[in-house]
A and B are shown apart, each in its own frame.
Chain A
Amino acid sequence: MQAIEKENRTNTGFWSFWKANYFTYVPPAFITLILLIGQIFFGILDSYINVVASIVTSVVAEELLARFVLGTRKNLASAYITGISVGILIRSNMVWPYVVTALISILSKYVLRYKGRHLWNPSNFGVSWMLLMASAYVAGLGIQWGNYVLPMCIIWLLGIGIVYRAKKLHITLVYVISFTALAYVRSLITGDAFLAELAPLTGPMYQLFIFFMITDPGTTVSTKRGQIIVVILVALVEFVLRLDGFIYAPFYALCLVGPAAKFIDLKKNTPKTEVKLAV
C-alpha cells in the first residue's frame, strides 16, 4: 500500500488533522512492525544487509528520479515500503538482486506511466519480473510464520485496522473471500485437501500481498465498485495460474490485472483532483 497525501485537507478536529498529516506514516510503520515481528520471533530475514540494501536503493532512487524526472520532491514513505517489501519478498544468496529488484521497482513508477500516473504497484512489478525472468538468482518468500499464533493475529488485526482507516478494507476482504472460495473450487478440481489450497493465505507472503500490494492507492482504480471487480479478477487470474502450477501466482495475477484495470480506469475517468503520491 502506498501512502497518499491529499491536497484538500479538512481541519475538522484532531483526528482529521492527524489523519491528514500523519496517516501517511502508518503503513511504513506497519510494514516495519511486520518485519520486526517476523525477525524477532522467526528470523525471517536471512541477512539484514539485504533488506537494508533494498530500502536504501528504493529511497535513493525515488529521491533522485523524482527530482530529475518529475522535477519535484516526494515523501519517501512509499519508497521505504517498496524497499522493505522487496527485502522481505525475495530470497537470494547475493546482495545485488535486492538492489536490482528495488531499482526496477522504483524505475517502473517513472517509466510505465499513463496520464501522469504509474500503472504497476512498484514492488509487485519488480518482484514479479525477477521471479519470472531471473529465477537463477531469485526465489520468493515461500515460508510460513512458524508456530506462534499471537504475532500472526497481531499482524492481521493491525493490518485490517489500517486498511480500514485507508478505506481499502473492502479490497482485502473481497480478495480473502474470493481466494477462499476459489481454493475450495480448486480442491474439487485437483482433489487436494481444501486446507492445502487455503494454506498459502496463512503465510507472510500473503499478508504483505493483501495489506500492501492489492490495496495500493496509487494503482487501484478510482471507484469502490471497480476496486471490487478488479480484486475478484485478480483472484480469478491467480486461480487459473495456480491450476497451471505457478508458485508465485498472486504476484503475477496482480501484475497482469492491476495495470490493465488502472489503464482503463484512467482512460475513462481522468482524476478530478490532483492526488500527489506521498511516495
Chain B
Amino acid sequence: MSGRKSVSKIITVILFIGLLAGTALLSRQKLSSGNGGSLQTKEQALEKYGFYLEPDNKAADINFRHQSPELDPKLKHIAPQIASMGASVSVVDFDNDGWNDIYFTNSRTGSQNALYRNLHNGKFENVAVQMGVANVNKKGTGVSMGAVWGDYDNDGFEDLLLYKWGRPELFHNEGGKKLVNVTEGSGLPAWVNANSAIWFDFDNDGLLDLFIGGYYDEKYDLSNLNTTKIMPESFRYANNGGRKYLFKNMGNGKFKDVTIEYGLNSTKWALAAGAADLNGDGYPDLIIANDYNVDEFYINQHGKRFVERGKQSGIGDIPKSGMSVAFGDIDNSGLLGIYTTNITEKGILIQGNNYWKPTGPQMQEPKYANLAQLAGIENAGWSYGEQFGDLNNDGYMDLYVANGFISGKKGTSYWYDYSKVTGGNSNIIGDAANWPDMEGKSQSGYQQDKIWLNNSSGLFEDVSEKVSPYADYDGRAVAMADLWNRGVLDVIVANQNNIPLIYKNIQQNNNHWIDFDLHGTASNADAVGAKVELQWSGRKQVQVITGGIGFSSQNQHRMHFGLGAGNKVDRVLIHWPSGQTDEINNPEIDKLHNIKEKKARA
C-alpha cells in the first residue's frame, strides 16, 4: 500500500510540474508566434502567395490625413479613448465614369473630408471642395464618423449619406457634377451620435431605405457637455447607448422614421450594421454589432417588421465588444457566413472574433455556430473594420481585419486603469469623471492589421507580415475595390488620427476572375440586396451587394470573384431584391459585366 502511495505521489508531482511547465511554454510559444510570421520581401510573397499589397499613397497622390474629434474639456482625461473613431472610407463611382473613387471622412471641427476622383492614370485628385462635401465638420452640426453612398432616388447617380456625431446629412448627386445638401426637410433627425449607417431596401419597394445606429446617446453633444455621465453602464450589459433609426424612403426625397413601428427599439451601443437576406425569404435581415453587449440579429418579417432573434440564432448569445460586420462565403458552400470583430488582448480580455456559419439550410429562423477558431480567424487584436475579398483570385475569399485601439506612449498601457472601472458597478463605470486619466498611455496600440489568406475550404493562414510591409497604425475602416480596373481587389484602410493606407494589389499568378456590376430596374437602382451565385469548376460562391459593410466603410459597388485556374464560368444566378432571378450561362471571364435587371418595374 505504502509503495503504491509513493508511486502515486511521484506520478502526481511529475504531472503537476509537467502541467506548470507545459502551460507556461505553450503560452510563451503562442505569444512569440502570433504575429503573422516573419517579414518577407515582395518577391518572396509574390512567389509564394501570388500577390503583394504595396502601399501606394504617394504614387496615387493621396495625402489625406485623419484628425480625431475635439471633445468637451470635461473628457480631456480620457479624450484619446472617446475620440477614437471617425476615420472612415467609402468607395464610389460618383461620376459614373467606370472608375472607383474614394471618400474619406475627417473628424476634427473645421477639418475637411476628401473625395478622391480617379484620374484613370494611377492617380487621384481631391475634388471634395468642388463637389461640396469637404467642409462638413462644423460646430453646431457635428463632425463626420462615416459615409455611405446610395442612389436613393434611382436617378443613376450615387447620393451620399454622411453620418456624424451630429446631424446626419444627405447629399444629392447632381449628375456627377455636384453634391447638393438636401438634409433640410428630408426627415433625418437633428442629432445622432452615429458610428454606423447602411442603405438597404427593407421592404423591397425599389427605393433604398436607411438604417442609422447611434453609439452615444443622442442627447449628448460630445463637444459641449453638461455632464460626464455619458459612458456605458456596463462593459457587457450596457443598454444606455444611442437609439437606432430606421427610415423608410418615401420616394420624394423624404424619409419617414419607422423605427418603433418596425421593432428596432434597441439602445445598445451600435458600431456597425450589415444587411442581407439570411433566411432566404427574399427580404434583407439586419445584423447589428454592438459594443458593450450582445450583437443583434433582426429578422425581416416580409418588409413589415423586424424581430430580434440574436439569442435564438446563437449570434447574440455571448456579450462581447462588437465592432464590425461582414458577410462571406468562406468555404464556397453557397451560404453566407457572418464575421464580427471584437477585442483580444492576451491575458486581459480574450473575446475573439466570430465567424457565424449557418448550421443548416436556410430557414425562417437560421441557427449559427461560431467557427472562427476552427477557421483560424479568431484572434486579431483590438479589431475594428474587416472585409472579405479574394485577394489572390484563387477562388476563395480572404479576410482583412484592421487592428489597434490607441497608440500612445510606447511601453505604456492603460489596460490596468481600464480594468478598474470596467469591473465596477454601473454608477462608477457610467461616469467619465471616474475614469482614470490616460496620461498619453497606449491601449492595444501599435497593432498590425491581420491579413488572413483562405487556403481553401475556409481554413485561413495568417500572412499579415508576409504580403505587405509592416504597419501598425490604429486601423479603423477597411474597403476593397479594384481601383485601377485590373481585375484585382486593392485594399484601402482608414487609420485613426493618421494617414490612410492605399494598398495596390500586385499579382503574380495565373488566376482568372470575373466582375459584375448590377443595376436594378424593378429593384432599387443600386441593386443593394442582390445576391449573386457563381458556379464554376464544380465550385459555388455567393456574394451580396451591400449599401455599406464593415466598420464605417463601403466597398466598391461591383462584385469581384476570383476563379483560380478555372477558365470557364458555368452559370451565374442573380437573385434581385425584386424577387426575380436572372441566369447567365458561360459569361466571358477576366471581364467586368454590367448587368441590368431584365424586367422593368411596371
Contacts and interface: CB of A to CB of B under 8 A. Distances in A.
Interface in B189-236: 233-236
A133 B12 contact: no
A123 B191 CA distance: 50
Interface string A183-204: 0000000111101111110110
B425 A134 contact: no
A111 B23 contact: no
A42 B347 contact: no
Interface string B334-359: 00000000000111111010000000
Contacts of A14: none
A142 B419 contact: yes
A190 B431 CA distance: 18
Contacts of B235: 142-144
A247 B236 contact: no
A161 to B, nearest CB: 22
Interface string A223-254: 00000000000000000001001110000000
A129 B235 CA distance: 25
B569 to A, nearest CB: 39
A61 to B, nearest CB: 10
Interface in B510-543: none
Interface in A133-188: 133-140, 142-147
Interface in A66-94: 68-71, 91-94
Contacts of B433: 193
In this complex, the member of B9, B20, B31 whose beta carbon has the largest number of chain A beta carbons within 10 angstroms is B20
Contacts of B425: 144-145, 199, 202-203
B429 interface: yes
A88 to B, nearest CB: 14
B220 to A, nearest CB: 19
B426 A144 contact: yes
Interface stretch (B296-304, B434-442, B462-470): B434-442
A170 B243 CA distance: 47
Interface string B8-34: 110011011001100110111011001
A130 B23 contact: yes
Contact of A107 (B16, B31, B417): B16
Contacts of B237: 42, 146-147
A129 B350 contact: no
B421 A199 contact: yes
Nearest to A191: B437
Nearest to A202: B425
B58 interface: no
B352 A93 contact: yes
Given A43-B318, A193-B434, A247-B416, A136 B27 contact: yes
Size class of the contact patch on chain B: 35 or more
A25 interface: no
B15 A129 contact: no
B415 to A, nearest CB: 7
A104 B17 CA distance: 9
B424 A203 contact: yes
A104 to B, nearest CB: 5
A183 B321 CA distance: 29
Contacts of B347: 131, 135-136, 138-139
A110 interface: yes
Contact of B424 (A71, A135, A195, A246): A195
B158 to A, nearest CB: 40
A205 B423 contact: yes
Interface string A242-272: 1001110000000000000000000000000
A135 B27 CA distance: 6
Contacts of B426: 144, 146-147
B601 interface: no
Contacts of A100: 19, 23
B420 A197 contact: yes
A200 B428 CA distance: 10
B428 A103 contact: no
Contacts of A68: 4-5, 8
Contact of B16 (A42, A111, A138, A191): A111
Contacts of A247: 348, 415-416, 419
Nearest to B435: A196
B319 interface: yes
B429 A199 contact: yes
Interface of B: 1, 4-5, 8-9, 12-13, 15-16, 19-20, 23-24, 26-28, 30-31, 34, 233-237, 317-319, 345-350, 352, 373, 378-379, 413, 415-417, 419-426, 428-429, 431, 433-437
18 contacts: A42-B236, A43-B318, A71-B1, A91-B350, A93-B373, A104-B16, A107-B16, A139-B346, A142-B423, A143-B423, A144-B422, A144-B425, A144-B426, A146-B234, A193-B434, A196-B436, A242-B416, A247-B419
Interface of A: 42-43, 46-47, 65, 68-71, 91-94, 100, 103-104, 107-108, 110-111, 129-131, 133-140, 142-147, 190-193, 195-200, 202-203, 205, 242, 245-247
Which 4 A-B residue pairs are closest in the complex by CB-CB distance?
A: A199-B424, A135-B347, A136-B30, A68-B8
Given A137-B30, A142-B422, A144-B422, 6 more contacts: A42-B236, A65-B12, A93-B352, A103-B15, A196-B434, A246-B416
